[in-house]
Structure 1
């Protein structure tokens, strides 16, 4: 196991953490040498091998997330690595365990952007031997987010059509795999035609290019006029009215993001079929131990069977964190952006 950087005369150990001291673009992210610290009760320190990047972290850095940073601020919901030290009251983990971190904490208290970081023990899961660190860092945000509406609630059944907006992102691609895993039929959307073939290769039964095609008409064509049972949308904004027209009567609209900052209207019962409309966040699952246990079992089973395999678009080194955030924000990626850590 790689050792921590030697500390000053007081004997403390040092680590590299990504911090930012003001809101702004990727350039505000800087790498600092800091005291690694020791885990407190209910915490563990991990040696980080890979970090999964998420749109939520871009929003947190920009100051448009549902939480606001307190400076100097840290970042990072996901990581994979090895347990390095355990605090009091931690019985399910031991030094040397290969692990992954599930997003189940506040970015105002913890962050995974670093080479040795402290996180709450309840957010640390054993990493299966067949899952390497890069793939393990790309699993939990995406698959738990997709798991909730597509499986846990029981609203989607085998044979149902599911509309997945912005499907080329890590959550969208995970949702395609989850839908296939449970026997549903995923229909993907993308703004431009460049990603159409890759989405079909990824398992989409149909792809709608929203910049060129009439979404409700194409959904009716693909579903034989029925519409979709569930629409899973990270964009929000006025576009939900168009999506609602593609949902079958009695179906469901689930909005799990806010890529469009404009107000999101409630679908009007006089204009569209009867649909249930709601917002959703994966934290509703990761903050509930029993729901998280079920989600982990579901995702682990999919990984073991080969039904779930996170798509990695590109990796960056920890020293390139600003470039990695810039690339993620540009929106041209297909799948997960992962940062690796050189020890």
Structure 2
């Protein structure tokens, strides 16, 4: 195919990091990205050029374009960490060359050529050739949420306790993880902020669903903690609710932070628990898991994720697929709707 010299993309307006955090909600696109034309990039030796079919919008994307993620922005470059498409060109490295012509899920990483564009650049090692049966809608969100879900469930499995706690229980990532937990006989305790989300949690595999905004949340939380005694807390929120949950957990509890959806100060109500109850606070970042995990486990996780999507055990819940030309107006309003992913189609 003929590759054009220029492409349409959503380009970053900011450089580096923001001076002050502004929270996880994307009220408007204009302060952070603008539509524009930019030259189609040439992949480096270990990279591939992908004609994008669909790209995903994750909480990490919102944090990134607002300058609140652990990776600096480069002004004028396309945003978007993840997508699905066809490899149309590659660098000289044999691993990159093998991907030409293949449909892949990809992560753009630190290439600075993001997926909210007609073409994107990815390291060949960050591409997953997709098996038949995996929809583009699932492929567009194949890496960040599914692999994170499997990687963090490894932590739960290794800890040995059947019950564990997770916040943002209605998120796509949490629903994927609860599906695995249900299949293996584990008991997720999912925290949400609306009563109407609780039936969805039970359908997804939660043993308990708690509304952190309910008047009796503290009482219900203590009762569940006493009954289930979970020791793993997978937290996408931080903030006061997370502090309350950690305080209620038993001895040897591990609070594993993988997101910061609540920009408020995160309290530790009783710091002495870290000393006398042997509680721990740590972080999880998929990039580091990919770096440090043995190749055989990474391949196993990638194939498990694909098979779960292909056979229907996992399905990406879609709120909207927004044309790139309409993204500036529609993305914030679609992201405000609960329970599903928003994708961009170039």
Bin for the TM-score computed over the shorter chain = 0.7 to 0.9
Q: Note if 1:133 corresponds to 2:136.
A: yes
In the TM superposition, residue 277 of structure 1 has moved relative to its aligned partner by 2.1
Per-residue CA distance 1:251-282 (angstroms, 9 max, x = gap):
32211111122333456354585433211111
In the alignment, which residue of structure 2 is the partner of 1:335? 340
Q: Note if 1:59 corresponds to 2:63.
A: yes
**SS of match in other structure, 1:228:** coil
In the TM superposition, residue 304 of structure 1 has moved relative to its aligned partner by 4.6
Q: Is the 8 A contact 1:26 1:323 kept in 2?
A: yes
Q: Is the 8 A contact 2:239 2:262 kept in 1?
A: yes
Q: Is the 8 A contact 1:90 1:121 kept in 2?
A: no
- Separation in 1 of the partners of 2:121 and 2:273? 51
Structure 2 counterparts to residues 1-343 of structure 1, below 5 A: 3-5=2-4, 13-22=5-14, 25-28=28-31, 29-91=33-95, 93-102=98-107, 105-106=109-110, 109-152=112-155, 154-157=157-160, 160-215=162-217, 217-222=219-224, 225-266=227-268, 268=270, 270=272, 273-288=277-292, 290=295, 292-327=298-333, 330=336, 332-341=337-346
In the TM superposition, residue 188 of structure 1 has moved relative to its aligned partner by 1.5
**1:323/1:334 Cα in 2 relative to 1: closer, same or farther (>3 Å)?**
farther
**SS of match in other structure, 1:27:** coil
Q: Is the 8 A contact 2:6 2:38 kept in 1?
A: yes
**SS of match in other structure, 1:249:** coil
In the TM superposition, residue 112 of structure 1 has moved relative to its aligned partner by 1.1
Q: Is the 8 A contact 1:167 1:199 kept in 2?
A: yes
Per-residue CA distance 1:6-44 (angstroms, 9 max, x = gap):
xxxxxxx22222102237941242222222132220011
In the alignment, which residue of structure 2 is the partner of 1:8? none
Q: Is the 8 A contact 1:324 1:339 kept in 2?
A: no
In the TM superposition, residue 4 of structure 1 has moved relative to its aligned partner by 4.2
Q: How many residues align?
A: 329
Q: Is the 8 A contact 1:173 1:335 kept in 2?
A: no
In the TM superposition, residue 324 of structure 1 has moved relative to its aligned partner by 4.7
Q: Is the 8 A contact 1:156 1:184 kept in 2?
A: no
Per-residue CA distance 1:217-243 (angstroms, 9 max, x = gap):
324544662332321111112333211
Q: Whose helix fraction is larger, Structure 1's or Structure 2's?
A: 2
Per-residue CA distance 1:165-202 (angstroms, 9 max, x = gap):
11122222222223223321122211122322222222
TM-score by length of 2: 0.84
- Separation in 2 of the partners of 1:246 and 1:307? 33
Greater alpha carbon shift after TM alignment, 129-138 vs 201-210: 201-210
- Separation in 1 of the partners of 2:150 and 2:325? 33
- Separation in 2 of the partners of 1:278 and 1:256? 9
**SS of match in other structure, 2:68:** coil
- Separation in 1 of the partners of 2:144 and 2:183? 18
**SS of match in other structure, 1:82:** strand
- Separation in 1 of the partners of 2:99 and 2:335? 37
**SS of match in other structure, 1:112:** coil
In the alignment, which residue of structure 1 is the partner of 2:23? none
Q: Is the 8 A contact 2:12 2:74 kept in 1?
A: no
Greater alpha carbon shift after TM alignment, 289-298 vs 165-174: 289-298
**Unmatched runs of 5 consecutive residues or more in structure 1:** 6-12
In the TM superposition, residue 57 of structure 1 has moved relative to its aligned partner by 1.4
